[in-house]
Amino acid sequence: MRRSAVRKPSLLIAVAGAAVMSLAAAPPGPGGAAADAATRAPAAAPASADAPLPPKSPVAVGYGGAVASVDPDASAAGIEILRRGGNAVDAAVATAAALGVTEPYSAGVGGGGYLVYYDARTRTVRTLDGREKAPRSAGEDLFLENGRPIPFDQAVTSGLGVGTPGTPATWATALDTWGTVSLRQALRPAERLAREGFTVDETFRKQTADNQARFADFPASARLFLPGGAPPRVGSTFTNPDLARTYAELAEKGVGAFYRGRLAEDIVRTVRRPPVDPKSQRVVRPGDLTTADLRSYAPVRQAPTKSSYRGLDVYGMAPSSGGGTTVAEALNILERTDVGKLGQARYLHRLIEASRVAFADRGRWVGDPAFEDVPTKGLLSQRFADSRACLISDDAVLTSPVPAGDPRRPDGCRSGGTAAPTPYEGENTTHLTTADRWGNVVAYTLTIEQTGGSGITVPGRGFLLNNELTDFSFAPANPAVHDPNLPGPGKRPRSSMSPTIVLDGGRPVVALGSPGGSTIITTVLQTLVGHLDRGLPLVEAIAAPRASQRNTAVTDLEPGLWASPVRDRLEALGHVFKENPEIGAATGIQLLPDGRWLAAAEKTRRGGGAAMVVHPHGRP
């Protein structure tokens, strides 16, 4: 297949135009997926003149619904569905599918995620756990050789780290349960975007360059992401015809094709025999994923976490994610302090210490509840938080790792005596938030784990496979204490993803989430406190410089705090910091008192986010 060098119109431009394609139009057929990828032209076709980057806005206000994501073409996909009568769930799936095109190193059908949904009619919140699962053959020794953990970088770039993907099943289940359009309709904008292309920005090029050595070792990844042997240049047009055909196949046949058909066989073959360049010196271990693992996958419908903060109801994701319980516990610890009236240094000290303690309890207690007895109710209780808050002093810093408390017996000011250090989690996830004209809201965080996932593209299919199983503990942090996050057959690794919806009297106040591995929890926590307690407009709460403490000896600080006098005051208390150039990339939506939606995204992180509304002016 040859591609024109002329830049095709982006999805953003198509949506902005007066006329849009009919929702009922038939999509192209799925044929050609098995063609030899080596005969195809490079994915990034050079434009006759480099195209200007699509415009981004970190904030938008209006009626009829809203979408906030990191990417303008992805947000435009969700707005397109809303304009055609779809609801927040439909828009979330459309946006997520488009992010699989424009943010392929952060998300896609080869990964998983967590979706939180607010139903305006019933004023209830529901969730879907679409986390990846370990193969049924996996044991606690999944990442051990000769009794010792294998090198982390070798686990990351391997078939061994690939979990059964949950994203396609999550999309189908969400649409079947709460949506109003078909999967075919929801995938159409993303399929078109993959076929026609998007404009490469600096973030995409940098992430490609950071993965260049890995991608070069896998011919399918190299052909797709390194056209001509190098990362695509900023301003060029990147197309992914293989992914367009994959989306068309799912639209035609349903997600059963992903979990049972030839596509499933292609995934399993890629995991079990990773297609490495014969000239590569990289050690790439095979995985043990089977077609039976794919056939048996289903997302888990479960109740959200629920806690109270300042009279508001905070809903999040229950285990297997530790996001909901850990955000809630930290908020509960802060509940007894009027942090809105504190000075900057004392406020940040309290925030850091609350996060430190909550992470101590997360590490000890949270795992996949299908395998572990997770005391979720206790972790969410104000009584337990009060028993932990008393550890925090205004004139001293707790020593990390802090031992865990016992939420089953929240007595006095004691800890459990054993610390569970926080393991590394991949940081390049993505988050989107949507709302519709009826008042429904979705907060959805999805991922393939590491930036670039496993680095392994399924040949001829156009998507990367996750390396999500590396979120498991490779070995117990303390052999004397049970680790709830060890691998197991069909087990889901613990996550930090924290899609969150806050209600007041059953009506939405704010919904948000972020990528960032274990920093997701601290980003969501700090954004909520900044907005709800400190009075920052949502877009400013998202933009504020961040601190991230995860029960470690050192707290991460973004440059805005690193260079601030407040750092000196905190160090005088005993805090130890290291500079982190960028923590998270949040998006959120707020319902304003006059009924308008406010969508907010990053101002600068990841090149800035994209907030959009259906009707920016007047009432629809």
Residues with active-site annotation: 429
The C-alpha atoms of residue 238 and residue 462 are separated, in whole angstroms, by: 12
- Three-state secondary-structure class, residue 3: coil
**Do 194 and 102 meet the contact criterion of CB atoms below 8 Å apart?**
no
Locate tokens 């392929």: which residue? 104
- The sign of the CA dihedral 285, 458, 129, 405 is positive
**Do 201 and 607 meet the contact criterion of CB atoms below 8 Å apart?**
yes
The C-alpha atoms of residue 478 and residue 475 are separated, in whole angstroms, by: 9
Q: Which residues contact 575 (CB under 8 A, 6 or more apart)?
A: 349, 352, 397, 555
Three-state helix/strand/coil letters over 134-197: CCCCCCCCCCEECCEECCHHHHHCCCCCCCECCHHHHHHHHHHHHCCCCHHHHHHHHHHHHHHC
Rama region for 147: left / alpha / beta (φ>0; ψ in -120 to 50; rest) = left
**Do 133 and 161 meet the contact criterion of CB atoms below 8 Å apart?**
no
CA distances from 26 to 22, 186, 231, 242, 389 (A): 9, 13, 34, 19, 58
Rama region for 584: left / alpha / beta (φ>0; ψ in -120 to 50; rest) = left
Torsion on CA atoms 371, 322, 406, 396, rounded to nearest 10: 150
Which element (helix H / strand E) includes 126?
strand 124-130
The C-alpha atoms of residue 321 and residue 301 are separated, in whole angstroms, by: 13
- Three-state secondary-structure class, residue 587: strand
Which element (helix H / strand E) includes 354?
helix 344-365
The C-alpha atoms of residue 13 and residue 446 are separated, in whole angstroms, by: 26
* 560 φ/ψ angles, rounded to the nearest 5 degrees: -60, -30
Rama region for 490: left / alpha / beta (φ>0; ψ in -120 to 50; rest) = left
The C-alpha atoms of residue 137 and residue 2 are separated, in whole angstroms, by: 43
Which element (helix H / strand E) includes 548?
strand 547-548
Q: Which two tokens stand for residue 408?
A: 């089953």
Q: What is the largest CA-CA distance in the chain?
A: 70
